[in-house]
Every structure is written in C-alpha cells, then in structure tokens.
Structure 1
C-alpha cells in the first residue's frame, strides 16, 4: 500500500541522494515550501514528486522519480493523483510538466495521465535536445 505525504525535514537526506541534481539548498527550500511529495511503502520512501509554479501560478511538475524496483507498480500514478488532487483543492485549473523530446517512456506516462503536448523549446548549452511541454486541464 502506497502512502503519499508531503516531504518533511526528516526526508531531506534521502531526497538529496535521490534528487542529486537539485542540490541540498534547493531541496531544503522546496521541502520548506511544501513542494515535494514522497511515496512511502511500509514507512520507506520509494519515490518523490517535486513541483513549483510556472509564472508563480500554474502548478508545474518538475520531477517525478520512482526507485527502479518499484517502477510500473502504480507508485508514480499515486504520487501524481495526490498532487493533482492537492492542486485542484488549491483552485488550480491547469497543470504543466515537461520532458526532453527523446524521452518516449515519460511522454507516454504523461499522455496516460491526461496531459497533452503544448509546445517545445530549445535550451542550447543546457540540453542537447528540445524540452517538450505538456498541460492538463483540471478545472
């Protein structure tokens, strides 16, 4: 059984290991602002979802990552649905996310969860391929 909760200070060391590209200062900031959800099974964290707000308004799922052994078991969907519900409760009418254009599995996951492609941008020097953006209307 998967339990999805907001991350706490006690989860920071795990998040620093698993979301290594974000860095401890950013992770601590996001946890303090309630911008991480963690999925737990038997009290152990097995995945996380990190989000922010695009333009300070639109909920934007920055990263969702599940431990390899737990992928394709519903953990990611549980995280996403908990986030969607929380954002809807806050009054959001649309969600955003993105992935690199050559990441077919994440894009398939976004489509299965109701997202539609809305455009792409190139980020020379940061990524070798364009970033594809997705939206989902929830309100």
Structure 2
C-alpha cells in the first residue's frame, strides 16, 4: 500500500465517495495537500484521509475512509501514522479528531494514543467525542 497527497486525478474518486465534503471544496483541499489517498501497490485508490484545522492552527482529521474490501488490514492505522509523521515534520505538536459515541472508531483512535478531550452535543445527533494526541 502507498499513501500520497491527492492530486487532480483523484478528484472523481473523492467526489463520488466523500459525501461530507462540499464539491466546491474538493479542489482546494487537493491543492492544499489536505487529502491523502491510500493506494494499492498497483496504484488503485482504496481510501483517503482528509483533514483541516481546528481554530485555524491545530490539524484536525475530518475523515478517514477505507473501502470495504480493504478494511481490517491495517490501512487505517498506517494512514493515521503517516499523517502524524507529516504533521511532526511541519512542526505541529498536537493532532485532533472526533468520532460519534455510537461508532466503533473511538476505540481505534484510543489504540493509536488519542485521548478524549471533550464532546459536542448537537440536537438530535449522537454525542461527538473530541480527541487529541500529543505528537
């Protein structure tokens, strides 16, 4: 598996699958190198990691997605560790993410060293657990 910054050739893959990102923002995220694509050794995309910045200064992983046939094989862990390494190289000391309290992803992030840092409760939505990790 390879992990690399998304390019314009990944636009259609992202647009078709990322239902949480407004289409108008895809190109800006690609140009800002805020999307990493996970690829098979043959170069086929199998998932992505997308991030932004909380408070405009703290890297915040907005979405990690692995296509169904490739789940449970360590791709997600490799993607998060790769992202954290890139953040360290850029001088960041803290990373953030969040997950819904009714999702199993909270256990995945805790195994990677993320700690609960608070929560957000929106009307008619499950509790959103905010998580941080010192890099």
Shorter-chain TM-score bucket reads: over 0.9
Listed one character per residue, the Cα deviations across residues 4-29 of structure 1 (whole Å, up to 9, x for unaligned) are: 00000110100011112313212122
Tell me the CA shift for residue 74 of structure 1.
Answer: 1.0
Find the aligned partners of 2:50 and 2:65 in 1 and give their Cα distance: 9
| DSSP 3-state at the match of 1:73 | coil
Quote the residue 1:29 is aligned against: 28
TM-score, normalising length: structure 1: 0.93
TM-score, normalising length: structure 2: 0.95
Aligned residues: 134
Structure 2 residue aligned with 1:132, among 125, 129, 134? Answer: 129
How does 1:1-139 map onto structure 2 within 5 Å?
Answer: 2-41=1-40, 42-103=42-103, 105-124=104-123, 128-138=125-135
Greater shift in the superposed pair: 14-23 or 43-52: 14-23
For structure 1, the residue ranges without an aligned partner over 5 or more in a row are none
For structure 2, the residue ranges without an aligned partner over 5 or more in a row are none
Tell me the CA shift for residue 77 of structure 1.
Answer: 1.1
Find the aligned partners of 2:88 and 2:53 in 1 and give their Cα distance: 13
Find the aligned partners of 2:122 and 2:34 in 1 and give their Cα distance: 24
Find the aligned partners of 1:24 and 1:128 in 2 and give their Cα distance: 24
Find the aligned partners of 1:113 and 1:47 in 2 and give their Cα distance: 19
Post-superposition, which runs of at least 4 consecutive aligned residues in structure 1 deviate over 4 A? none
The Cα RMSD (Å) is 1.0
Find the aligned partners of 2:13 and 2:83 in 1 and give their Cα distance: 20
Find the aligned partners of 2:2 and 2:126 in 1 and give their Cα distance: 35
| DSSP 3-state at the match of 1:43 | coil
